[in-house]
Structure 1
Amino acid sequence: MTTSEINALFHRFSTINVGVIGDFALDLYFTLQTQTGERSLETNRDVFWGSHPKASLGAAGNVVQNLTALGLLNCQVMGCVGNDLFGREMQHLFNSLGVNTQHLHTLDTRWDTCLYTKPNLDGREANRIDFGIANELPDTFFLDLIAALEQALVKLDVLVVNQQFANPLFTKKRVAVLNELIIRFPNVRFLADMRDVGTLVRGATLKVNTTELANFLAVTVPDVPDLYWCIRHGNRLRETSGGPLLITRGQAGILYLDDHEMQSVEGLPLRDELDTVGAGDTVVATWAACLGARATPAEALQIANLAAAVTVQKLNQTGTASLSEILALRDTYHLHD
């Protein structure tokens, strides 16, 4: 793609409507110091010190912040947060991005906002303390969310379903509801990154990484799965899902398969230290934006590959990629048509 073509594509991003439903979380980054010389007077135990705390949207929230970084102006979220300080921080972060949170429901009981702590100890991530990972959404609240989703789908161009919790929004029993919506709203592009239940989705573009692909098919993943392995097993998965398949291959690149074509792009030869946390979310967000803007799969692969390469070079943060960063990286690697 030429620079003018990329600019034109990003201009279309600002005109589309994208919804994100699923599992929302916060990532809390901070510096941890364990050798402080201080002991608690109350417990006589060592006291650790934390500094430089920074909260960032995680899980499905990371997809949202990537969408806004790409220039999307019309993005709405559907999910749940708790009535706690982490939930209020999540609402604040969404509001600061201009995201529509009308259907981000606050649950007063039995729900802790999911939080992943990211303590940085001497340059490495120490043991995490996570909140909210045992949440289970009652059926009544699920039905409320589906009612909200049905209203939203009337105006959406793309819906992203992103979940990773142990007890996700769409459980095995609830995926049938999503499949019905995919049939009822043929003008909406559905993109699913659903980890444990992705094989039950019918008709949506399904995003997986090579480990998830192997797990879905109960096969052993090679140490270095080559393109042929991914194509062969990707087509096996498509026999059941019936929709397009997007396979992220780490530094090896990305593969796309559908009924009509196969497209792949090689990863960039990045040399410095990398942080791959959230890179899959960047690919999901970029692909969703490209779907809404009616880009071809080949064009979407180019942009998603560049966007992921931008984010993995941002250390100790849940990174995003903007148009200017993507163009700068493209210039660095002389990727001009």
Structure 2
Amino acid sequence: MSATPLQPFDILERTEIASILDKLSMASVAVVGDFCLDVYWTIDPSASEDSVETGLRTQPVRQQRYSPGGAGNVVANLVALGAHRIYPVGILGEDPFGRELRRLLEHPSVDQRGLISQAESWATHSYVKPYVDSRELNRIDHGNFNRLSAETRREFFERLEEILEKVSVVLINHQVIGSVHDDEAFRSALREIMERHPSVCFVVDSRKYHEAYASAVHKLNEAEVMRSCGISLEPGDSVPVEELAQRAGELYQRWGSPLVVTRGDRGCFVFSSDVVWQIFGVQLPGRIDPVGAGDTFVATLAAILSSGVNLAAAAFVANVAAAVTAQKLFQTGTASPGEVLALGANADFSYHPELSESPHRARYLDGTEIEVITEPSPALNIRHAIFDHDGTISTLREGWEQIMEPMMIKAVLGEHFHDAEEVVFHRAQHRVREFIERTTGIQTIAQMHGLVDLIREFGMVPEEALLTPAEYKAVYNTDLQALVDRRLEKLDRGELEISDFTIKGAVAFLHALKQAGVRLYLASGTDEADVKIEAARLGYADLFDGGIYGSVGQITKDAKRMVIERILREVGGAFEQLVAFGDGPVEIRETNRRGSYAVGIASDEKRRFGTNIDKRPRLVRAGAHAIIPDFSQWPSLWSFLRLGSIGER
């Protein structure tokens, strides 16, 4: 198994995801494990006084907030997913924290018969997080010294036996010191239960007890895989994908049970039967907070397995659900079916993350600068070609990032742009640059919707002073259009030529494709009217007999996606007839997702030839099958794409 190659799992379509999510209303899941309470205290020293008893300053709590943690958060996720019946099975203390946790878990779909209280030697696992000025102080932990009594253990398994008659999946959760799983007799009894109920699917998510429940389906992260193989990782360490797959394969052989290995934004692996599926991660455009994403993943996995769906498909949807939660900042979030479907239907998946970060792994067509990631299919028979415009053919808008960046920073800081503290300015600058990098290639109007979110995130502009996304776009377009107009004026005066504003070899390649009978389409995230004007001024608008398309100002109408879908409808879904060229992730991703061939252009727009090394990683992650720096070697590209003899097609 350790040598079995990873098999990319097919991206599920919207209808497939919807069908899986619809089944969640039938799911019945028991959650066995560490039920915790997360406690947030906001301390305000302004009301502090000297304690009469100790003479020390008091720590007044202005605000307090409580939320389920550990297995409790898994239950909260199952509720959010709409599971039919949820059975929490665990131990609480007879204390205020235990009573609050019971209250928080109250819901029509949650049956609390499995929550048992132990009066002595057991405190509800509670994690008190005091904050002063948004700074977290030392955490205060309750429950680390818990000891399970024999009587409580007996009652626990009596309740569990009763509940097992009502569920198809049991999720075993372990993550704290003082856990029920720390009791050896408990682990032994749970193993016996598992052996007596082979028809029930047990899923284990544990920091250190996977070995104790070997027959279960195992959900592990990278660190847990390596730890189970006797290898410790330091915080921040990453494991090469080949080694991780090998180590996980060793565990699969050792335990003889399926494994799901989560890798954060890199997706996950599924070891099942004789196949190792690689499920791609989801690229998210804004800030992320991974707290709670693991709970969302395992809750979604368990609920979908309870609905009778296979493990790989369950992991695919769980991966999307975890991405939904990761976008919810400053909270232990959950994901609803609607949110999962909305993201899954249009998710930006991250392909080949290791290759994207390792240019030394690149493989080139002999004697060329054409990087080959995936060979064209023997069935490739190109009849339609989609081209992005800016950075793929035209360089008229080269430098747009340098216009968007200061415009966005000014919008984020508002009236404080000139007097903001240096640390605040640099934080805004970093977030804006990160945002532009993540959103390059999407419609400008979509970027401006993201800008509004950024402005709210920083909180320096009053809500009543916010502009609409369309108004922010108008500000940006005014500045950018001034740059474009100056360049076109130089073209009109004969000071510069068309070749000064086009990627090397691009226009010659377009003419060759047109002569060969390939139908050409131009699709851009720039406003459609501007794209048509600029293509005409640069002399190649008439080559695009399939049409020229751009943004029409509606975020739901992406020109590139619509053109690809239209072409595939016209050719009856014959994906082997379509190829796309672009320097941004949108056209690459949309083409890849539909099974057609995608060529990334890692163009250096300043020089108009050669490679921009900053573009390559995002093109690889977007799913480019091949990457070129420009079209200077287009005859070699022509042969590579099986377009036949030049001029004879």
Fold equivalence (TM over 0.5)? yes
- SS of residue paired to 1:56: strand
Q: Which runs of 5+ in 2 are unaligned?
A: 1-11, 350-592, 595-649
Check the 8 A contact 1:29/1:316 in 2, yes or no: no
Alpha-carbon displacement from aligned partner over 1:138-183 (angstroms, at most 9, x marks no partner): 1221121112111211221100110122232233443232222222
Whole-Å Cα distance in 2 between the matches of residues 258 and 168 of structure 1?
29
- Paired AA for residue 49 in structure 2: R
Contact residue 112 and residue 132 of structure 1 kept, 8 A: yes
Task: Identify the residue that residue 73 of structure 1 maps to in structure 2.
Answer: 84
Look up the match of 2:118.
Answer: 107
Q: Which has the higher contact order (CA 8 A, sep 6+)?
A: 1
Distance 1:224 1:91, change over 3 A: same
Question: RMSD of aligned C-alpha atoms?
Answer: 2.1
Distance in 1 between residues matched to 2:279 and 2:134, nearest whole Å:
32
Following the alignment from structure 2 to structure 1, what is the Cα–Cα distance between the partners of residues 221 and 334? Answer: 19
Secondary structure (helix, strand or coil) at the match of 2:152 reads: helix
Question: Kindly tell me: are residues 32 and 330 of structure 1, through their superposed partners in 2, closer, same or farther at Cα, counting changes over 3 Å?
Answer: farther
In structure 1, distance between residues paired with 2:304 and 2:281? 19
Preserved CA contact (<8 Å) 2:222 2:263: yes
Residues of 2 paired with 1:263 and 1:122: CA distance?
A: 45
CA displacement 1:199-222 (0-9 Å, x = unmatched): 121211011111112212111448
Q: Residue 299 of structure 1 aligns with which residue?
A: 313
For residues 41 and 53 of structure 1, do their structure 2 counterparts lie closer, same or farther at Cα, with a shift above 3 Å needed? Answer: closer
User: Which amino acid in 1 is paired with 2:127?
Assistant: Y
Q: Which residue of 2 aligns with 1:181?
A: 193
Q: Counterpart of 1:159 in structure 2: which amino acid?
A: V
Whether 1:212 aligns to 2:224 is yes
Q: How does 1:136-285 map to 2 (within 5 A)?
A: 136-170=147-181, 171-221=183-233, 223-285=237-299
Quickly say closer, same or farther: Cα 1:292–1:96, change in 2 above 3 A.
closer
Cα separation, 1, equivalents of 2:56 and 2:285: 42
**What secondary structure does 1:275 align onto?**
coil
| Residue ranges of structure 1 left out of the alignment (5+ in a row) | none
Mapped to 1, the partners of 2:273 and 2:233 lie a distance apart of 24
Is the Cα–Cα contact under 8 Å of residues 160 and 190 in structure 1 kept in the other structure? yes
Q: Which residue of 2 aligns with 1:40?
A: 50
- Distance in structure 1 (CA, Å) of the matches to 2:266 and 2:346: 19
Q: How does 1:47-66 map to 2 (within 5 A)?
A: 47-66=58-77
Task: Report whether the alignment pairs 1:4 with 2:15.
Answer: yes
Q: Is the 8 A contact 1:25 1:113 kept in 2?
A: yes
How far did 1:80 drift?
1.1
CA contact (8 A) 1:202 1:241 kept: yes
* More strand as a share of residues: 1
What TM-score does the superposition give when structure 1 sets the normalisation length? 0.92
For 2:300, what is the secondary structure of its paired residue? Answer: helix
- Quote the Cα distance in structure 2 between the aligned partners of 1:272 and 1:51: 31
**Residues 1:303 and 1:261: Cα distance change in structure 2 (over 3 Å):** same
Q: 1:132 aligns to what?
A: 143
Structure 1 range deviating more: 282-291 or 245-254:
245-254
Poorly superposed stretches of 4+, deviation over 4 Å? 334-337
Q: Would you tell me which structure has more helix in proportion to its own residues?
A: 2
Q: How many residues align?
A: 336
Aligned residue for 2:40? 29
Counterpart secondary structure, 1:272: coil
Structure 1 CA distance, aligned partners of 2:89 and 2:197? 17
Correspondent of 1:90 among 93, 96, 101: 101
Shift of 1:278: 2.1
Contact 2:169 2:202 in 1 (8 A): yes
Letter of the 1:206 counterpart: H
Is the Cα–Cα contact under 8 Å of residues 81 and 335 in structure 2 kept in the other structure?
A: yes
Partner SS for 2:161: helix
2:327 to 292, 296, 313: 313
Aligned partner of 2:28 in structure 1 is 17
Alpha-carbon contact 1:210-1:221 (below 8 Å) kept: no
Alpha-carbon separation, structure 2, partners of 1:173 and 1:233: 29
- SS across alignment from 1:80: strand
Cα shift at 1:39: 2.6
